[in-house]
Structure 1
Amino acid sequence: MPNITDTVTTPDGTCKVHFVTPDGPGATQPWPGVVMFPDAGGLRHTFDQMATRLASYGYAVLLPDVYYRSGDWAPFDMESVFGDKNERNRLFAMIGGLTQDKVTSDATAFFDYLSARPEVAGKRFGVCGYCMGGRISVTVAGRLPERVAAAASFHGGGLVTDGDDSPHLLAPQMKATVYIGGAEDDASFTVEHAEQLDKALTKAGVQHVIEWYQAAHGFAVPDNAPYDEAAAEKHWAAMSKLFEMALPR
């Protein structure tokens, strides 16, 4: 896959991105654009591989360094980060810096970048995300409804909270088709959370699917300890179906 490293200028600085497009027959045509938001571990090799796979289905994929405000940050070891107090604290501090306003301004810049690329078709885009990135995807769908045609969240946490900034409260603004892939026995997205989210999306008239995976939180990301190959393959099929249906070509 053609894969370039580039930068996107945002109101808060310069964000490194990887931009991946299909190759092979027909690769010169413009493709629907998708922003892939990584999990809490941030931009790393695993997500390069995932972006490449998504591009192979016929999409121009933008993979951003969502932690760019932290400068040249040291990568996390996903096998040990949650068991190491210092690393866990560093990770949570970086996650905490990604407010709704910041992820919205970043997404606006990412969409502007895609709009300006000749490889990208249309002015509405797909977003997908994992764990923290799943929450970002749902948030962006609500905060930037004119620019998001499809949003997918896989083992996303914090989609329903008691806070005024809970993503599920953005349902009335959404115009995207939404897919939620939840992990079983996941405290960050419970059956009760799913019921609240479903109620909010249904009331708002948002076309959506909430589906449970018989796997643990982190099932779709290969370098996560709970990675589950069968569940991961199911997630690829679900995401392909969503984008094929909802993204303009």
Structure 2
Amino acid sequence: MTVSLTNAAVPTPDGTADAYLAHPGDGGPHPAVLMYMDAFGIRPHLVAMADRLAAAGCTVLVPNVLYRHGPAPLLDLPERIDTAARPDLFERLGPALRALTPDAVRRDAGAYLDWLAASPLTAGGPVAVTGYCFGAGLALRTAGGFPDRVAAVAGFHGGRLATEARDSPHRLADRITAEVYFGHADQDTSLPPEQIDRLDAALARAGVRHRTEVYRGARHGFTQADTVAYDPAADARHWRALLGLLDRTFPGRGIEGDGAG
């Protein structure tokens, strides 16, 4: 399927978020997907992931959630991202990440959903949300903050999803009406087993239709092909899970196979 690509500007209560938009090239409306980036932001690899979803039949918005600190990319990234070799990357991103409070996430999420709803390229109705690394927490907060506007939510190698903090993302489980899927990395210190169990318990208590899977041997960032954590087998599993979720969420909308186009 031909894919059309463009840059977008999303007005929010706190400014304007730059974003990447990918959609099938037929010009018609398609199911909307809000994709939350990892901490390293919009870059060629993340663009390729959005393009793959567009080739599968979706209109995909990837906002720069760190827009308060400047347009993407915020950093000059190496060709192969290795945070062990470059600990300065997270040090430099720290202020922007800390500024993204739960209140700011909710304001932004409302703006992203409004933008998608107003676009002639989307089919209308509830959207699907997916997120990677810290973006998985943003996806969970969006599903809990806007239950009538999110039909499906997925997160992959998310961190700190179910801490003991009063504002931990998992505490929104009782507000979620979407179908939920999480693919966790078992080699991920940012989401230890007790947090996985706590998240599962919160979703189960709330009666949320959900599935969580632990990808054995995978590390935090296993879907990100431009990082040293990339795991091709785990990434392929992630695509099967995500596209399956989208096919169930948008039945009859022609979500295609593996998204290869």
Q: Deviations over 1:36-80 (max 9, x none)?
A: 111111111111000000111111000111111002433433624
Partner of 2:14 in structure 1? 12
Give runs of aligned pairs for residues 160-239 of structure 1, distance below 5 A: 160-214=162-216, 215-239=218-242
The offset of 1:85, in angstroms, is 4.7
Q: Give me the TM-score of the superposition, normalised by structure 1.
A: 0.94
For residues 75 and 140 of structure 1, what CA distance do their matches in structure 2 show? 29
Residue 74 (1) aligns with residue 49 (2): no
Give the Cα separation in 1 of the matches to 2:106 and 2:213: 26
2: CA distance, partners of 1:161 / 1:71: 29
CA 1:188 to 1:53, structure 2 compared with 1: closer, same or farther past 3 Å? same
Report 1:15-94 matches (<5 A): 15-23=17-25, 27-72=26-71, 73-77=74-78, 79-94=81-96
Alignment of 1:151-166 (within 5 A): 151-166=153-168
Could you tell me whether the CA contact under 8 Å between 1:126 and 1:247 is conserved in 2? no
Q: Is 1:109 aligned to 2:111, yes or no? A: yes
What CA RMSD, in Å, does the superposition of the two structures yield over aligned residues? 1.5
Deviation of residue 82 (structure 1)?
Answer: 4.8
- Report how far residue 194 of structure 1 moved: 1.4
Task: Say whether the 8 Å CA contact 1:82–1:88 is kept in structure 2.
Answer: no
* Separation (CA, whole Å) in 1 of partners of 2:45 and 2:87: 24
Report the Cα distance in structure 1 between the residues aligned to 2:81 and 2:33, rounded to whole angstroms. 28
CA deviations 1:79-125 (Å, max 9, x no partner) are 24454454331112221111111111111111111111111012211
**Could you tell me how far apart the structure 1 residues matched to 2:161 and 2:75 are?**
28
Q: Is the 8 A contact 1:22 1:59 kept in 2?
A: yes
Please, which runs of 5 or more residues in structure 2 have no aligned partner? 254-261
Deviates more, 1:198-207 or 1:80-89: 80-89
CA separation of 1:158/1:247 partners in 2, compared to 1, >3 Å: closer, same or farther? farther
- Residue 247 (structure 2) aligned to one of 236, 244, 249: 244
- d(CA) in 1 for partners of 2:151, 2:236: 23
Structure 1 counterpart of 2:44, which letter?
H
Q: Which moved more, 1:7-16 or 1:115-124?
A: 115-124
What amino acid is aligned across from residue 24 of structure 2 in structure 1? P
Check 1:74–1:217 CA distance in 2 against 1; reply closer, same or farther (3 A cut): closer
TM-score (norm 2): 0.90
Checking the alignment, whether the CA contact within 8 Å between 2:137 and 2:155 is kept in structure 1 is yes
Deviation at 1:127, TM superposition (A): 0.6
Q: Which residue of 2 aligns with 1:135?
A: 137
Flag as ranges the 4+ runs of structure 1 deviating above 6 A: none
CA deviations 1:194-219 (Å, max 9, x no partner) are: 11111111110100000111211111
Change (3 A) 1:28 1:84: closer
